[in-house]
Structure 1
Amino acid sequence: MYDMNLFTPQDMAKCSLVLRQLGRNTASMEATSQKIVKYIYQHFCNSQTGENTCVLVRLFKTHPYGELEDSSQQSARRLMNGNSPAADMKCWTLLAAAGAEPQWNSRHTAAENTAIPLVSTELVAQIPAISGMIRQFGLDIPTVLGIEPERFVQLEPAVLNIFHVPEAKDNALIPEQNS
């Protein structure tokens, strides 16, 4: 068990060792990703109460639009108002999810948007969780979209991080909520 508020370098070393081993003897990146999010969901708890501190854990991967499955391509096109994207356009693609609600435990049912097209600053800015994550990592949208690639050279290793929303209920960063 790990407490996100008390996560030590020793905890990080132990956790990263386990996470690296989860991919052994796994048939696909998606299967490995599902093991990772499930592990994080189940093992990050409040040290005093034992309750899960993560209500929802998602894992995204950057992937070319043309290589996405049909349902993810439809998700990307929906966000682009039906426009046809280029096959090489990058999308943040949901690979795995784990959470408190049954539908949150499959990438196919965990989110309305399973592929986020990284096509424009304006489009990415309209998605609160994604734009919030980018800001929390200390980045800006143009850098992530590759408009300012020289900025990546200046990044500290700490930027490779976890996006954590401490209080998700009624938080604008998490728009897919039922009140």
Structure 2
Amino acid sequence: MTGTALTWQQLRDLKRPEFEDAGDGWHEVSGRADADRVRTDKAMTAKLRDTQDSESAKAALARLERLSRNYEYIHTESGLVRTTLNGLAAELADPQRELTQALEEAAEPKFTVHEDASISYPSAVVCGNPQFGETGEKKVPSGTAQGSSRFPLESNPGLNGDPGFDYNPNPIREPQ
């Protein structure tokens, strides 16, 4: 990915309705430009063409036709800006919702998400699962997992920087 990446904090704090409001503003610009084009074509160009036949009238018609094309360009481009803004707001809705849900889920077991996307977690005692040959209790010390604060997410270097450690609080294992 080139350019500036979106951080999780920026995604969390993003006010998507502001993009939609801006899109609505561009829709108004587009509508006014189209109305002005129609007015130029019908009220000015058509009447001038029907009533005048001179070199100056031809020059004025050429300028009015250029003005009409400019209004059409503004109409089209403003519509594209609106579509882009509304599309961006829609595309960010699911990732923002998922991030909000993940932050809420992290807060429940007292996980702390830091600005650099690392996550601190408290120590815990876990019970073994006899179905998988695990017995007794095991103390898991507190620590930090380092992640990426950029979207799309970069590969995770693992818990405490150890790529060989794959912590899954809800493991699903096949019986052996």
Q: What TM-score do you get using the length of structure 2 for normalisation?
A: 0.21
- Structure 1 or 2: more helix by fraction: 2
Q: Mark the structure with the bigger radius of gyration.
A: 2
**Structure ranking higher on relative contact order (CA contacts 8 Å, 6+ apart):** 2
Q: What TM-score do you get using the length of structure 1 for normalisation?
A: 0.21
